[in-house]
Structure 1
């Protein structure tokens, strides 16, 4: 990590420790560490929260959409309790491949309390894109050089133009014929990668739960499932209660497993077979994934 970024992180942490709030006040803040970025270069976005320690605060993870940025990694700082308040902070390392001169980002924090969820967002922050190629104005003066310069044999530019023109026409024809197939292929590939990443982590949690069915692990697994399901179905699963999730037409089969999981997560009960409920969630998600794949293939 660059020294400048390291100093910035220390500044952020020192800034967090300087807050003076009452015991019931909740504050979520965040912003870019750097002032500008280059395309594809790592930049950092800090996020902090101050809240009563009896609340449960959840920050975004790698499955969250950081658009127009791409997630790279994150550094989490352990929760600190100072003067009866909990202090959480995380620094996300992200990249951008967009060419907008000014790019914006804000991130949500979710407060979990009982069966309810509340979303608080950081202020919208901006960062400037640094352009490497300078703009040449009409008033720019050119340096005259009258010295003789040896040049190569004349290049056949007309032939080059014909070749480039032919390639452009060929590409346009291929896009007209296969454009929809190409777009469909990219959508299916992205969908498959996201599902495989989710399934790998989710099943690893289920295996751990068979050995150690702790309520904390069940809660972590439930949040992972809600975040992925939200991305798959484009519905706000991460902030919905079980009752709200079951109000969807296609979630009837989740009635028993979700209520059983709620008893473990919110009732803090150790239930040996809770992993079976999560297996039912995984089966549901696999079915929704298959239907989404079928929709894309059918052009819906």
Structure 2
């Protein structure tokens, strides 16, 4: 029997929203009962839309097929007149996953102020009263003092500038690593097979990806698994991400899940040490 074509629908609940105001996006899929699919998580940005939460509803099955649906809550901070969004679903095949997109939907920006192109700058300037500035005394002394400060600052930077800059970069790396460890441990401490535990696993993965992205200054959250492995030079990452995705989207929670979490921590620490070595090598080159 030929399978019915997948019907996918995605749209905003609101027609318009202010900058930073939560907006809701509904994603529905009608498919055959024997087809396996999963929805995108809420651990990465979709264009200008920053995810806040995802609410998934139980599958409803009828003679027409199986209906899966979810509501995503987003915020956006772009000042364009409108934004479009099309969230995909992932159809699981025998060998890989296929992304299927619905028709894009549009939400418009509610402006609290007129559009910049509609503002009459000449009128604004003519209505601004410019106070008279009285000449200050001792301009000569102020000028000489400024020159002295600049000279002293220049000498200090010339002698100690490189060490100060390097020490500050070391401190920033260390501080961000401490913040990452605390945030990651807070989420991974209570990972389990129940829905709350799976959500914490998803949150921990998001914390890890954002840290690696800032640490390596690469768009890590947009990379494929292959690109992630090539960038971090650690083949364990592919299996670790696969096990974690299987737990989050497929509910396949096992000992490998926690092993994969520990591997992610080791990879993050290795990336941190790599960045420290780069700073040290810069010093030797100079």
Give TM-score scaled by structure 2 length.
Answer: 0.57
Structure 1 residues 295 and 110, CA, compared in 2 at 3 Å: closer, same or farther?
farther
- Deviations for 1:250-281, whole angstroms, at most 9, x for unmatched residues? 11233443343344234321214522221121
Where 1:51 maps in the other structure, the secondary structure is strand
Counterpart among 133, 153, 177 of residue 171 in structure 1: 153
2:176 aligns with 194
Contact (CA 8 Å) 1:110, 1:239: kept in 2 or not? no
1:148-197: CA deviations, max 9, x gaps? Answer: xxxxxx95442232112211222233334444444434433333333222
Q: 1:111 to 1:195 in 2, by over 3 A?
A: farther
Q: 2:18 aligns with which of 33, 38, 58?
A: 33
Partner of 1:269 in structure 2?
252
- The gaps in structure 2 that reach 5 residues or longer are 1-6, 30-36, 58-66, 117-123
Deviation at 1:212, TM superposition (A): 6.0
- What is the RMSD computed on CA atoms of the aligned residues? 5.3
Deviations 1:6-45 (A, max 9, x none): xxxxxxxxxxxxxxxxx624458999836xxxxxxxxx36
Q: Return the alpha-carbon distance in structure 2 between the equivalents of residues 142 and 266 of structure 1.
A: 62
Q: Which residue of 1 aligns with 2:27?
A: 51
- Cα gap change, 1:109/1:164 in structure 2, threshold over 3 Å: closer, same or farther? farther
Q: For structure 1, which runs of at least 5 residues remain unmatched after alignment?
A: 1-22, 35-43, 68-73, 95-101, 129-134, 145-153
Give the drift of 1:211: 8.7
Distance in structure 2 (CA, Å) of the matches to 1:248 and 1:31: 39
* SS of the residue 2:190 aligns to: helix
**1:141 Cα deviation from its structure 2 partner:** 8.6
Count of residue pairs brought into register by the alignment = 240
Q: In 2, Cα distance between the equivalents of 1:226 and 1:176?
A: 38
1:101-120 alignment to 2 at 5 Å?
113=90
For 1:160, the equivalent position in structure 2 comes to: 142
Deviations 1:44-96 (A, max 9, x none): 365553422675344567xx8x99xxxxxx99477498x986443334789xx
- Cα distance, 1:286 vs structure 2: 0.6
Q: Provide Cα deviations, 1:218-260, integer angstroms capped at 9, x if missing partner.
A: 3333333223223323344323443443345711233443343
Report matched runs for 1:84-123 at 5 Å: 86-91=70-75, 113=90
For the residue of structure 2 that corresponds to 1:299, the secondary structure is helix
Distance 1:291 1:249, change over 3 A: closer
Structure 1 246/32 Cα, relative in aligned 2: closer, same or farther at 3 Å? same
Partner residue, 1:24: 8
CA contact (8 A) 2:42 2:51 kept: no
For residues 189 and 107 of structure 1, what CA distance do their matches in structure 2 show? 40
Distance of 1:170 and 1:31 partners within structure 2:
56
